[in-house]
Amino acid sequence: MSCFRKFIQCVLNERRVCRLLNIDPDQLHEPERKADQYILAAQPIIKFHERTLLFTQPGQLQFSMQVNFPCAVSVIFGASINDENINASATSIPQHFQPKPLNQLFTVNCKNVKKQITQGYILITALNNQNEVNFQMFEFQVTPELRISLEIAKIGAEYYELEKVFGAKQTPKTGEEFNEANCCICLDENPNIVALPCRHLILCKECAEGFRTKSTECPLCRQKIDILVDMGQRENDMV
């Protein structure tokens, strides 16, 4: 098991999640994927505005996002993850936020930062309407400006990297670019479905329905397609 996967499992420890969200463990529902279910709908916890990400002072991270469910937000500052170990210079105390119709400005503090921060992780955990634990993780880097370099999301019972999507003239990294990309098969201008884990295909719903009955492999890399994820109409900064 990779160190990165161990890190995710530690963050999503059931007892820890229940404690953060102040819920009874018996309320949790583990999502089950049906044998014939080939297209899953992605239900992100939040819509993240990368352009609002900034350090207002050492150890204080500020960002804006739209929250769909009550969630717990925490930040690991100065973290490094490799195949051997996990190191972090400081972590924040988890903070709880309730959903609001408008974008919220979040300020996450960590008082014991003793060195310059160059990298870290924003962790968001929530319970959706089906009592399923949802999780999103954003890696941020300061090189030379503050930016999101990685997004991990839990879709069903699996974890996927959603930062890079291929199959268009350029890699769409924002919701606007994603909505402007073309379907890889019919060139329709409104593709919503992404093939995972390789992310080489962006498809419209009609082509995705036809593709799943004919092939289980990506035509570009020949990797087995695990799932097709319906991203819907993305109107925000992250794909």
Whether residues 142 and 190 share a domain: the answer is no
Helix (H), strand (E) at residue 9: helix 3-11
Whether residues 53 and 137 share a domain: the answer is yes
φ and ψ at residue 164, rounded to 5 degrees: -115, 130
Contact between 213 and 175 under an 8 Å Cβ cutoff? The reply is no
What pLDDT, on the 0 to 100 scale, is given for residue 1?
Answer: 45
Whether residues 198 and 151 share a domain: the answer is no
Is there a domain that residue 97 lies in? yes
Whether residues 186 and 151 share a domain: the answer is no
- The β-bridge relationship of strands 39-41 and 227-230 is parallel
Is there a domain that residue 160 lies in? no
- Which residue shows structure tokens 């959903």? 99
- Residue 66 pLDDT > 60, yes or no? yes
Whether residues 146 and 199 share a domain: the answer is no
What is d(CA 201, CA 13) in angstroms, rounded to the nearest whole number?
33
Contact between 54 and 63 under an 8 Å Cβ cutoff? The reply is yes
Is there a domain that residue 237 lies in? no
- Structure tokens given for 30: 């583990």
What is d(CA 189, CA 206) in angstroms, rounded to the nearest whole number?
13
Whether residues 54 and 106 share a domain: the answer is yes
Contact between 202 and 148 under an 8 Å Cβ cutoff? The reply is no
- Range in 25-34, 132-141, 202-211 with the lowest mean pLDDT: 25-34
Is there a domain that residue 169 lies in? no
Is there a domain that residue 219 lies in? yes
- Residue 95 pLDDT > 50, yes or no? yes
pLDDT digit string, tens, across residues 152-205: 777 666 676 665 444 334 444 444 455 557 888 888 777 878 887 777 788 888
- The β-bridge relationship of strands 46-57 and 60-67 is antiparallel
Q: How many domains does the chain have?
A: 2
Whether residues 29 and 97 share a domain: the answer is yes
What pLDDT, on the 0 to 100 scale, is given for residue 10?
Answer: 63
- CATH number of the domain bearing residue 194: 3.30.40.10
Q: What is the DSSP letter of 167?
A: S
- Range in 36-40, 134-138, 169-173 with the lowest mean pLDDT: 169-173
What is d(CA 94, CA 109) in angstroms, rounded to the nearest whole number?
10
- CATH number of the domain bearing residue 70: 2.60.40
Strands, DSSP E only, in 68-182? Answer: 71-81, 86-91, 95-97, 104-109, 119-127, 133-142, 146-155, 158-161
Whether residues 215 and 147 share a domain: the answer is no
Q: Which residues on neighbouring strands pair with residue 64, listed in sequence order?
A: 49, 105
- Which residue shows structure tokens 């969630």? 71
Whole domain around residue 179: which residue ranges? Answer: 175-230
- The β-bridge relationship of strands 202-203 and 158-161 is unpaired
Is there a domain that residue 168 lies in? no
pLDDT digit string, tens, across residues 99-126: 665 667 777 776 656 556 677 888 888 7
Whether residues 137 and 199 share a domain: the answer is no
Average pLDDT over residues 54-62: 74
